[in-house]
Structure 1
Amino acid sequence: MQRRGMALLAAALLLTGCGSDDVSEAAEADEKATPTQAASIDPADLRPGNQPATPEAIAAITLQRVPVQPEAFEGGDVYFEQDEVGTVLLWGDDHSLEVKAGAVDDDLLSTWCHDGMSGCVEMKAATGTSTVAWDLATDDGTPGQLMVSHASGGVERRAAYVGEKITGDPRKLDLEVSVDDLVALVTDPRLGTKTTMKMTKAQVSGFPSDGANGAGEVALTAGAIAAGLLETKAYADIDSFEKADASAYGKGAFGVVGTTPGGGTVTAVHAPNLPAAQRKCPKTLTCSKGDTDGYDGWTDGSAETVRCHEAEGDLPAFCAVIRQQAPAPFPGDDLDPVLSGLEVALETLWPTVAAETARRGESLV
């Protein structure tokens, strides 16, 4: 079945000629919380993730970048291939915004540009260069469309907007969904076939259960923590795991200790009631980050990261603790890769986890 974006694009190609090559420098769902639309985003959150993206995660990222109020969402195999993930936001009088991520192939927007779009330019943003293309409105009532694409790391991110009349270069038009909005969206490092754990937990008001975050998830277990650590690049070489003694981390805490080939250890603890004193940097460490939601701390051969999250919607409050201890000082005193590994490992400690990850962990601890 032909997808909406490609069907509209194919029709437009029959009506328009090739344009400019300019380069610019320039009810359950009702209980869900709606992400703040076009809200400021914590720069610390703008990083690639390692969790499989869901349609609802794509919608949540979109709503942080594009100031619209969708009335419905669509998706599924009518719009996307098996190696793609995305959703379609619908609102108003036939307004739609299709957002997707998938493998780079011959369907790249830059290829379509040379086959008959009305206009086509490249736009640079802080996080990469995007292809912006558009088709003009026609006399028969076709409104035209605006499409933006960004390819990186073997993944293409694309947004296609239909609804308003495109009467010229969309960068010069006062559109409800602007070119700048879409460029910021497709170059957002969280948008992709994989995203951050935070976005896989985000909930969007009115999003259908099919493709929603949380589908197929179960409560976190010690084994699931172990399986999650093995899925990260930094800790994929852990040899063995055992349950951690989490008695000092507050009521309900649990976790694992993994042993690395060099004799070091990695401790990961999920702590729903971490004592206040343990949320602040201990005097034995040098620390960065604030002392209210956690910290990054280190000394010779030892580093740890603590993050605490407030309750939000159905998500309970919890803290995540990751500690790496080496038998000797870290090589070259270079802490950046160590702290980066700890930051990624924090995502293995959310209260729920994919059922498949929990199953893989059953034999690890």
Structure 2
Amino acid sequence: MPRKPLLLALAGLVVVVLVLENTGPFLTAQFTTMAYFAIAAGGLTVLTGLNGQLSLGHGALMAVGAYSAALLLKSPESALPLPVILLVAMVITLAVGALVGVAAARLHGPYLAGATLALAVAVPGIPLFFGEALGGEQGLTVRMPEIPGWLADAAYFVTGQDLTRIRYLAYLSWLAVIVVFVLLANLSRSRVGRDWQAVRDEDVAAGLAGIDLGRTRVLAFVVSAGCAGLAGALMALSARLAAPSGFALTLSLLLVSAVVLGGLGSLTGALAGAALLTFLPPLVTGAGTDLGLSDVQAAHLAPLIYGLVTVLIVLLAPAGLAGGLRKLTHRRRNS
């Protein structure tokens, strides 16, 4: 493993511990939200930014991960540790992603976007047809497992504070972010990542160079689907619920906008986009309430401001926040 991603991962782990040990329950829950959005956006930025495939169905793949985790946690006698349950939910979504990826491997541009859009519209309706097993419109209540005793004791020994379930989930989510981002960073620098970029830039030339276009596209979709499944499982645990309303088309569109805001092909940009997706709407809603707007008006103000911010960033920084920051840093060094 290259030294730089590993050092960044260790630094990130230290920052996570310092932040989570000094925040209240509400802010800790928001950081958990940012974590699962970051994982989903990281997978999508690899698919779209590195491989050039536009997916509008990642909210549906998150639903697969969420319902998989909910079903695995349905029985109180489940002996599987929570990290194993998250891994199983991710593998199940990987299998679904492989099926979708194979079917969509021959599609490009708007055709692929249309196919994944159909997926995003269709999947949230499946629980309605299998209401007895999947809870119908009300969804499935997700049980949060008990914290392992040895982990609670170790956390108290290190921090001097009891490890609550909210903080436990936040730590688990951010550990997943670090592991996923390190793996994606190394994968993007490997031969596989170079093949993805070659297919994105010029698929005809890549095919003539001996790159299997179909297999390359399917692999990118599968990796991205696995990230979405893990993010969906963490989202279900955070909300304590897996319901169709949580995985509507809006979620897929928000993930795409987060990737665009942060910067296509940049994991740092995916993290920035997830932060905006998490913290901007509540901030705008709170500001609207302070200005005298009703709760309903303030809630409708948040999407408007988010859309305006997206337009401004696209106009002023076409490469996203990460690309704009790199350009600004480069100018300062040359000046």
What TM-score range do you get, normalising by the shorter chain? under 0.3
Bigger helix fraction: 2
Bigger strand fraction: 1
**More relative contact order, 1 or 2 (CA 8 Å, 6+ apart):** 2
